[in-house]
């Protein structure tokens, strides 16, 4: 991107927006800096996020608060085993005109028709219903009753998943997982953070969240991120990282061939570069580096590398494989 005055001003606006967003989020969310940075990176690259963590770590609260910080429409879907695809996309109903008494079908939009959609506990619903999100997440469209409806931009699906409770849950298919830009692991807070959380949440304190960004501003910032140039060696590193995760690639290390069934696809390379662009520009730099790609390796790749029985027997998970690839 050839630097000009407008781009420099836009980058400064973006940095200010990032500071304002984090300031508003900090009124409610204590700690979780890495999680918030990854959410903001996805926001600027038009990507979807899957947050994974044990109950009580404020996954839903983070998404709710982020939605309040943005002047965007927001819908929450609580995923349950009896949820149907039409409960997400919408359904046709028969409507009768009062005068002529003529009947016609009218489409009633489902909760997917919002800028920000929270898919809470997404693994609690069967694959048929999970699949209702696939077209929306990839194409930003919904097909129902033979008609295709375009979703408003910007459009984000932010999903939560509980990794330890397996009773009555359905693992997300790999095709569904691949639609998520990031798989963000939400960890326990530190002792000091937990002290602050307990003091804040057991008092009469009520946070006043102010909107920071509008939909049009987000779209402009997303376009700016797309215009950021990337050096060939950075693209080579990102593509090489994805290629080396595939057991049948020529450049694959032996430990990947031993422990991995399926590696990351081309979407991983794309998201590594898009995310690196967003990281650079949020940091006030006009081009990403290899370090930016490395910083995003875990959230981009951890749900795209499928380990085999050998890995399970050796106690090796996808995170260990990614760390070995990066190092």
Where do the DSSP E strands lie in 26-78? 48-52, 70-71, 74-78
Residue 300 in this model has a pLDDT that exceeds 90:
yes
| Average pLDDT over every residue of 109-121 | 90
In a domain, residue 324? The reply is yes
| 129 CB-side CA count, 13 A | 23
Asked if residue 267 and residue 122 are part of one domain, the reply reads no
Q: What is the pLDDT of residue 274?
A: 95
The pTM is what?
0.87
Residue 166 in this model has a pLDDT that exceeds 70:
no
| Average pLDDT over every residue of 289-310 | 92
| 116 CB-side CA count, 13 A | 23
Helix axes 266-282, 215-227, angle to 10 degrees: 110
Asked if residue 189 and residue 66 are part of one domain, the reply reads yes
Asked if residue 58 and residue 15 are part of one domain, the reply reads yes
Asked if residue 245 and residue 184 are part of one domain, the reply reads no
In a domain, residue 121? The reply is yes
Average pLDDT, the chain: 86
Asked if residue 264 and residue 165 are part of one domain, the reply reads no
Q: What is the pLDDT of residue 34?
A: 86
DSSP state of 278: H
Number of domains in the chain: 2
Planar angle of CA 313, 125, 322, nearest 5 degrees: 35
In a domain, residue 96? The reply is no
Exposure string for 17-52, b = 16+ CB within 10 A, e = fewer = bbeebbebbebbbbbbeebbbbbbbbbbbbbbbbbb
Tell me which residue range forms the domain holding 12. Answer: 1-81+115-201+210-227
In a domain, residue 179? The reply is yes
Asked if residue 64 and residue 175 are part of one domain, the reply reads yes
């Amino acid at each position: 991107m050839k630097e000009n005055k407008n781009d420099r001003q836009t980058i400064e606006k973006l940095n200010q927006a990032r500071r304002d967003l984090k300031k508003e989020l900090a009124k409610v969310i204590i700690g979780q800096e890495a999680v918030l940075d990854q959410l903001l990176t996805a926001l600027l690259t038009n990507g979807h996020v899957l947050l994974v963590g044990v109950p009580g770590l404020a996954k839903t609260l983070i998404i709710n608060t982020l939605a309040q910080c943005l002047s965007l429409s927001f819908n929450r879907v609580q995923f349950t085993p009896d949820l149907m695809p039409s409960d997400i996309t919408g359904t046709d109903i028969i409507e009768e005109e009062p005068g002529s008494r003529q009947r016609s079908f009218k489409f009633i939009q489902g909760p997917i028709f919002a800028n920000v959609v929270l898919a809470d506990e997404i693994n609690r619903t069967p694959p048929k219903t999970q699949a209702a999100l696939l077209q929306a997440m990839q194409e930003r469209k919904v097909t129902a009753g033979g008609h295709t409806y375009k979703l408003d931009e910007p459009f984000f699906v932010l999903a939560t998943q509980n990794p330890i409770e397996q009773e009555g849950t359905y693992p997300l298919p790999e095709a569904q997982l691949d639609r998520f830009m990031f798989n963000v692991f939400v960890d326990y807070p530190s002792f000091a953070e937990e002290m602050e959380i307990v003091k804040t949440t057991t008092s009469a304190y009520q946070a006043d969240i102010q909107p920071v960004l509008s939909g049009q501003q987000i779209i402009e910032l997303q376009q700016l991120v797309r215009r950021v140039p990337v050096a060939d060696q950075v693209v080579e590193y990102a593509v090489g990282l994805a290629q080396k995760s595939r057991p049948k690639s020529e450049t694959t290390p032996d430990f990947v061939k031993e422990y991995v069934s399926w590696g990351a696809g081309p979407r991983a390379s794309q998201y590594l570069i898009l995310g690196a662009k967003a990281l650079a520009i949020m940091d006030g730099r006009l081009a990403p580096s290899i370090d930016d790609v490395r910083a995003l390796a875990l959230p981009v790749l951890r749900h795209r590398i499928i380990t085999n029985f050998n890995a399970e027997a050796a106690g090796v998970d996808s995170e260990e494989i990614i760390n070995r690839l990066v190092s």
